[in-house]
Amino acid sequence: MKYHEDNLVPHKAALINPAANVVNEDVCLPAALIKKSALENNIRWMQHYADTRGVSLAPHGKTTMTPWIFQQQQQAGAWAIGVGSAWQASIAMASGIKRVLMVNQLVGKANLTLIARLKQKYPDIDYLCCVDSIANAQALSAFFNAQGQTLDVLIELGVTGGRCGCRSAAQALELAESISGLPGLRLRGLELYEGVLHGDNPQPAVEALLRDAAALACQLERFVDGEFLLTGAGSVWYDVVCNVWLAAPKPANCRIAIRPGCYITHDKGIYQQAQDALMARDSSACDAGGDLVSALELAALVQSVPEADRAIVNFGKRDSAFDAGLPQPIAHYRQGKALPAPTALMETVGIMDQHAMLKLKPGAQLQVGDVLLFSTSHPCLTFDKWQALLLVDDNYNVLAELATAF
């Protein structure tokens, strides 16, 4: 339905001036910002890490669902882009991505139909998805064989109490045996997501799962023609995945692919904590030089200072993730001029749908109309609040509007 015939304001972070600067209030705020230099740093850093370790990088694209970012990752050397659904796969393919790793089960008549049409439309794109049950393998076989197509699949290994995935090597082997007898399916390897393991110190369990997976891969090798793909690793344990799998016995022709997603923008919350822990334990990450830096910020306006120690800012749950710590103020501007960093004197203590509440300490010089920049925690859930993000340079000049696809 066409609701905005005049195209006056294409999205909520509307650019009012052609040469827009965010901190100069040339943009309707709140807005979500991608700092280009930080993004480029992160793309380069993680690609360098993967190259140095001798593994392939398949960044999880579900984090951003931003085609321009997919393209930057691919151009920098990413071997594939990971997605979580058939529809996300369609976005990646239409964005020019050459290999799409759907790290999820493919179910549902429309989703299967969509993938069949995409395989027909983009015959050169390598598309893979995961299976963890004979029932699903049989359904996929029946459908794709009837289309005269072959679907490339990975067996997913899971853990009890976790998400998807076979719960034992025996189950996985039985599934591989089944797949080998089903037309229209081709087994390509083994997938897991170790991030489902939680607790005070999940590292031993993560390492045990990875060793089990490598051993299982050796048993599955006979079902796979050509290269065996062994893939895991979100943004928290990618070093451990490399350590264990590079050292373990595995199929002779084995490609290891890691799939971090949130590294792309990093954050100043849960992923900073995870990366700090990784840098402390992983000498190859330290040797790589530099580190990931936060690339996603929110810009918002002070709309009310109703009490001496309380300010209300005009972003809320409709604009930002709030499930893993609230966005915190990191910079303060008034009429385009930077004021001292507000971090010691202001803290975000509450959030509603359209508002955030700041607790102010004595000395916080906050006025109605001031611009604040906020760091974020858990980038995924901020991305999906925006139909467009603003790509900015280090001085917060707007370089481009980046469309998202949610």
Report 358-387 residues binding its own copies (CB under 8 A). Answer: 367-369, 371, 380-381, 384-387
- Kindly state whether residue 145 participates in binding its own copies, applying the rule CB under 8 A: no
- Kindly state whether residue 179 participates in binding its own copies, applying the rule CB under 8 A: no
Please give the radius of gyration of the chain, using alpha carbons only, rounded to the nearest integer.
23
| Of positions 51, 253, 343, 406, contacts its own copies by CB under 8 A | 406
Name beta bridge partners: 312: 304, 357
- Kindly state whether residue 209 participates in binding its own copies, applying the rule CB under 8 A: no
- Kindly state whether residue 146 participates in binding its own copies, applying the rule CB under 8 A: no
N-term to C-term CA, the chain = 17
Nearer to its own copies, 23 or 254 (CB): 23
Phi then psi dihedrals of residue 36, to 5 deg: -60, -45
- Kindly state whether residue 349 participates in binding its own copies, applying the rule CB under 8 A: no
What does each C-alpha distance from 313 to 287, 328, 340 come to in angstroms? 41, 11, 18
Minimal distance, residue 194 CB to its own copies, in Å: 14
Alpha carbons 249 and 251: distance in angstroms, whole number: 7
Stretch that binds its own copies, among 22-30, 183-191, 237-245, 264-272 (CB under 8 A): 22-30
Answer yes or no: are the C-beta atoms of 94 and 68 closer than 8 Å. Answer: no
Nearer to its own copies, 1 or 252 (CB): 1
Q: Extract the tokens encoding 397.
A: 């000049």
Nearer to its own copies, 282 or 297 (CB): 297
- Kindly state whether residue 94 participates in binding its own copies, applying the rule CB under 8 A: yes
Applying CB under 8 A, the site for its own copies has a residue count of 94
Angle between helices 36-53 and 238-247 (to 10 degrees): 20
Per-residue HEC secondary structure of 308-323 comes to CCEEEECCCCCCCCCC
Binding characters for its own copies, 287-326, by CB under 8 A (x = yes):
--------------xxxxxxx--x-x-x--xx---xx---
What does each C-alpha distance from 37 to 293, 294, 393 come to in angstroms? 10, 10, 7
Q: Extract the tokens encoding 4.
A: 């905005």
Write out the binding residues for its own copies, residues 232-291 only, by CB under 8 A. Answer: none
Write out the binding residues for its own copies, residues 323-342 only, by CB under 8 A. Answer: 323
Nearer to its own copies, 105 or 242 (CB): 105
Write out the binding residues for its own copies, residues 116-135 only, by CB under 8 A. Answer: 117-118, 121, 132-133, 135
